[in-house]
Chain A
Amino acid sequence: MIIHLAIKSLLNRKLTIALTIISLMLSISLFLSIDTLRLGAKKSFFGNVKSGDLILGSRSGEIQLLLYSLFQIGSPTNNISWESYKDFAEHSEVSWTIPISLGDSHKQFRVLGTNNQYFRYFNYRNKKQLEFENGEKLNDMFDVVIGSDVAKTLNYRLNDSIVIAHGISSQSLHDEFPFKVKGILKKTGTSTDRLVIVSLEALEIIHKDWKTGSRIPSVKKTNIELEKEDLKPKEITAAIIKIKSPIKIFKIQREINDYEKESLQAVIPGIALSKLWEIVSITENIMLSITTMVIVSSLIGLIAILYSTLSNRRKEMALLRIVGASPKNIFSLLLMEALIISICSIVASILLTQLLSIIVFPILDQKFGIYLEYKFISIKDFYFLMVVLFTSVVVSIFPALQAYKNSINDGI
């Protein structure tokens, strides 16, 4: 009976109640979305670093090396010599390495020089391997493998021809050396999607006629005989190193940091990223506290609605009292109304966030490279929703108590 009364009374105040529900729904959805976004960003961030144990590079800031070599964000780092790389690549404790050479670009995308180790060992998120949507790995000198975003944005298909630009500004092109699209990777949700991958050797060749940024006019493609040239790369940007036994990671790191022939450094990606994330998480916490305040204000709105109707409904409550309702019944009626409002808001916000995730996730992915895996509410979200429900009922105790007090003396 109390439920019936509560529902009918809420329906009678459709507009105000609907507005209250919308306000609560929006604030809950805001919290849920920001949380999903935060976790998604964290995941796509940390997702890239699952491959190796160490990042080998020149001595620069840890975070700079990490961001540049793994995410192609930030300023370039110095290169390291091929010999130094070889020293560690052939180290007895090292299981495998992926060399990385950066610097060139194609349209808005970065060119990554590496070898086929990359396709074999690079993995992301939960040990997922790179897979080919079309084609296969690098075979010939001028083969190129492109990430799925590159393919989608530039509308490339297999065997399309690609010209690489020198440096990040695409003014000067390596147009004597057209590459051919050999493979297109499946979507990973990591920065790999935005890479144009070529072999280290190819990078070496196309830079033969270049000396630190300017073209030497005399050296033309025709002057180079591919077979004869020494195709061994001279420098790379960084390398991902996998150590055979995890307990040796720190030992190898020390060895690299103490390397005498060249000043090198080894970064443990997980640790460096966590440091970085600590900085990021300040903003994250600010965002979360703002959304929490938004929720609090909606809850205050809820109590305000309940309070404001109390005086209007005094006669109604008195009538209920006369026909037999106890003050306790009146109390539970108001609590029930609050409960129904918050349950409606929660259900609505679940629906809204689900709808948003279907609509917005692909857009986020395309526009910002934030890849969010679709999920129904997580356990954490569920706890959060329960807390909202609980809080809304707890705060509604105040107006309900007021109604209780009023109804003790209110009758005819």
Chain B
Amino acid sequence: MSITNNILEVNNLLFKWRKTNNFKLKINKLAIKKKKRVILLGASGSGKSTLLNLISGILEPNKGIIKINDTCITALSSKQKDLFRTENLGVIFQQFNIIEYLSPITNILLPCYFSLFKNKKISFYRERAADLGKKLGIEKDVLFQKKAKNLSVGQQQRIAIIRALINFPKIILADEPTSALDYKNKEKFLNLLFDMCEQENISIFMVSHDNLITKYFDDVLLLEKINEAS
């Protein structure tokens, strides 16, 4: 396998919803270099989330190749994709980042449960969670409280960052994580996320319709431009 400098590569991608829906995603080439922070801007409904779902292997493209860290995920079986996702991708959403009835720590460890802890002990991941928590300003008693219901939005988002990082991913996919935050909190959130990713050598691929935050990124892409079907 040829070792490239790209953490993510999309080639000749074509995606259509199976139902009668005019939406089409056609991307000839999209590449993200290792350790880079890239933001993809697009209006709402332009297919940003759909693209992230394709990259994470939830959706299957009609045509094309998606490579993550030199693994061609479009060639994997759906079972392999599920495992690949937990082991290599961290994901942060705009909303609904936590399952309220689970404890914060269980929320964080969810990817580890599905990757069966990769032969490490659960205590290893608990310590890592506590460690990451300390860096992000989440106290241990917050982390290990019974239910995540009572967490503030800021705490929820930091829990989401810890969960995205817990399994040592190669890249973090983020779907408009800042659109619910005011300007000050956006900056705070992005700084935290970037700090952590820098420490752990993780690339970031964020999609958003918010062009006020582009200055924090190494690269800015426009979906309208790269989607040839639009």
* Chain A residues near B (Cβ < 8 Å): 1, 4-5, 8-9, 11-12, 315-316, 319-327, 329, 409-412
Question: What are the nearest 5 A-B pairs in CB distance?
Answer: A324-B114, A324-B86, A411-B58, A12-B101, A411-B53
B223 to chain A, nearest CB (A): 15
Partner of A316, one of B52, B59, B99, B114: B99
Report the minimal beta-carbon distance from A91 to chain B, rounded to whole angstroms. Answer: 80
**Residues 99-128 of B contacting A (Cβ, < 8 Å):** 99-102, 106, 110-111, 113-115
The answer to whether B11 has its CB under 8 Å from any CB of chain A is no
**CA separation between A270 and B58, bound complex, in Å?**
69
**B151: Cβ under 8 A from any A Cβ:** no
Distance, CA A316 to CA B101, complexed state (A): 10
- Inter-chain contact A322/B58, CB cutoff 8 Å: yes
Contact A412 B52 (CB under 8 A): yes
Q: Are B114 and A411 in contact (CB under 8 A)?
A: no
Contact B82 A325 (CB under 8 A): yes
Sorting the interface of chain B by its residue count into under 10, 10 to 19, 20 to 34 or 35 or more gives 20 to 34
Closest beta carbon of chain B to A354's beta carbon, Å? 32
**A412 near B111: Cβ-Cβ < 8 Å:** no
Give the docked Cα–Cα distance between A11 and B111 (Å).
Answer: 22
Contact between B96 and A322, CB atoms less than 8 A apart: no
Please give the residue numbers on chain B whose beta carbons come within 8 Å of chain A beta carbons, in ascending order. 49, 52-53, 56, 58-59, 78-79, 82-83, 85-86, 91, 93, 95-97, 99-102, 106, 110-111, 113-115, 163, 173, 175
Are A409 and B59 CB-contacts (below 8 A) given A8-B101, A316-B99?
A: yes
Contact A412 B56 (CB under 8 A): yes
Q: Beyond the given A324-B82, A412-B93, could you list 16 further A-B residue pairs with CB under 8 A, ordered by the A residue number?
A: A1-B114, A5-B102, A315-B96, A316-B99, A321-B82, A322-B56, A322-B58, A322-B91, A322-B93, A324-B83, A324-B111, A325-B114, A327-B78, A329-B114, A412-B49, A412-B53
State whether B58 touches A321 (Cβ < 8 A): yes
Question: Would you give the shortest CB distance from A314 to chain B, in whole angstroms?
Answer: 10
Q: Is B100 in contact with A12, judged by CB distance below 8 angstroms?
A: yes
Asked if A323 and B111 sit within 8 Å, CB to CB, the answer is yes
Residues of A within 8 A of B59 (CB): 409, 411
CA distance A9 to B66 in the complex (A): 35
Q: A412 touching B58 by the CB < 8 A rule?
A: yes
Chief secondary structure at chain A's binding surface: helix
**Which residue of chain A lies nearest to B98 when distances are taken between CB atoms in the complex?**
A319
Expressed in whole angstroms, the Cα–Cα distance for A229 and B101 within the complex equals: 91
With contact pairs A411-B56, A411-B59, A412-B56 given, residues A319 and B101 touching in the complex (Cβ less than 8 Å):
no
Cβ of A319: which chain B residues have Cβ within 8 Å of it?
93, 96-97, 99
Asked if B82 and A326 sit within 8 Å, CB to CB, the answer is yes
Q: Closest CB of chain B to A15's CB: distance in Å?
A: 14
Asked if A412 meets B91 with Cβ closer than 8 Å, knowing A324-B83, A324-B111, the reply is: yes
Could you list 12 A-B pairs, sorted by A, with CB under 8 Å?
A1-B114, A316-B99, A319-B96, A319-B99, A321-B58, A323-B91, A323-B114, A324-B110, A324-B114, A326-B79, A329-B114, A412-B173
- Chain B nearest CB from A8 CB (Å) reads 5
Nearest-CB residue, chain B, relative to A313: B99
CA distance A326 to B77 in the complex (A): 11
Q: With A and B bound together, what is the CA distance between A276 and B24 in angstroms?
A: 75
Alpha-carbon separation in the docked complex, A135 to B173 (Å): 91
- A65-B56 Cα distance, complex, nearest whole Å: 83
Give Cα A329 to B85, complex, Å: 15
Residues of chain A with a CB closer than 8 A to B79's CB: 326
Q: A409-B59, A410-B58, A412-B58 are in contact. Are A323 and B110 (CB under 8 A)?
A: yes
